[in-house]
Amino acid sequence: MASAAGTRAKLTWKGVDSMRIGWIGTGVMGAAMAQHLMTAGHQLVVYNRTKAKTDGLVANGATWAADPQAVAQQSDVVFTMVGFPKDVEEVYFGEHGIFKGLAEGKTVIDMTTSQPKLAAKIAAYAEEHGRHALDAPVSGGDIGAKNATLTIMVGGDDATYAAMLPLLNVLGHKVNHFGAAGTGQHAKMANQIMIAGTMTGLTEMLLYTKAAGLDPEKVLATLSSGGADNWSMDNYVPRILKDDYTPGFFARHFLKDLRIALSEADSMGLDLVATAQAKRLYEVMVDVKGLGDQGTQGLINIY
């Protein structure tokens, strides 16, 4: 993680030591991420639909604002980390949305996992009105948010990326820029297509392990040091073995991601059959069994 001093030294505009950061969406991911920026020495203005989820940040020195417009009016940079594309639409373009309050020359960074085309729409609107925008979805889970070890995938113009990189470095240990607006979201979709395989793989690996009468802890320890090792297995199998299905990463959010990825793939003429099967399994979990508020590791509960 970049130090606060390192962060400031790289920034190029005046008043950087007391940058005013707005943060909208203080759930599992956002609360921890916003806290890192405050710890790094920035002033924080926060808003979340459920106000109580900002209490910890406010107790630590953040200021509450009544809506996204009010956040934007008080900020140099506004970060958003909400749930679904419809939430992103609302916080940017709603009646009291960010674009009603953001001053000229200021920047927005959407870190929600959302649609590439919505990222492009936000960036086009920002550019047209003399504002700046990045899409910067993340990977690394609740643990990555807490430890500031997220992987951050960025889309947007070069100058805005360069200006915002020091702030992004506070939140993650790997920040990569992929190109124009929307490309960060495309990179995240590539990530989610990969995760579809690791989640279905770890689930069926565990079912098989138990059916074969093997010790799952021993199998996990063995697989972790071999060719089957992966982040999902290392982080989620121990939770499943403790019957812990708390999120982590909400299954309803993962289903949203798989739907975005498959819709984008379809528009590129791709038929991703394994990802489509993973989506069907998560539809059973979320839409049929009503388990969308469990973490993604709860997939095992549909078998």
What binding mask, one character per residue, do residues 251-280 give for ligand NAP by CB under 6 A, x or -? --x---x-----------------------
Which of the residues 75 through 94 are near ligand NAP (CB under 6 A)?
81-83, 87, 90-91
Q: With binding defined as CB under 6 A, does residue 141 bind ligand NAP?
A: yes
Q: With binding defined as CB under 6 A, does residue 249 bind ligand NAP?
A: yes
Q: Distance between CA 192 and CA 296 in Å, rounded?
A: 12
Q: Distance between CA 63 and CA 55 in Å, rounded?
A: 10
Q: With binding defined as CB under 6 A, does residue 166 bind ligand NAP?
A: no
- Compute how many residues bind ligand NAP; rule: CB under 6 A: 28
Q: With binding defined as CB under 6 A, does residue 250 bind ligand NAP?
A: yes
Calculate the CA dihedral of residues 154, 252, 217, 194 and round it to 10 degrees: -40
Active-site entry in 14, 117, 146, 188:
188
From 10, 49, 117, 259, residue interacting with ligand NAP (rule: CB under 6 A): 49
Q: Is 173 left (phi over 0), alpha (psi -120 to 50) or beta?
A: alpha
Question: By the 8 A CB rule, do 196 and 279 touch?
Answer: yes
**Number of residues written out for the chain:** 303
Q: With binding defined as CB under 6 A, does residue 237 bind ligand NAP?
A: no
Q: Distance between CA 250 and CA 79 in Å, rounded?
A: 21
Q: Active site includes 210?
A: no
- Name the closest residue to ligand NAP (Cβ): 27
CA angle 103/106/112 to nearest 5° reads: 115
Residues of the shown chain interacting with ligand NAP in the complex, contacts defined by CB under 6 A: 24-30, 48-50, 53, 81-83, 87, 90-91, 112-113, 138-139, 141-142, 248-250, 253, 257
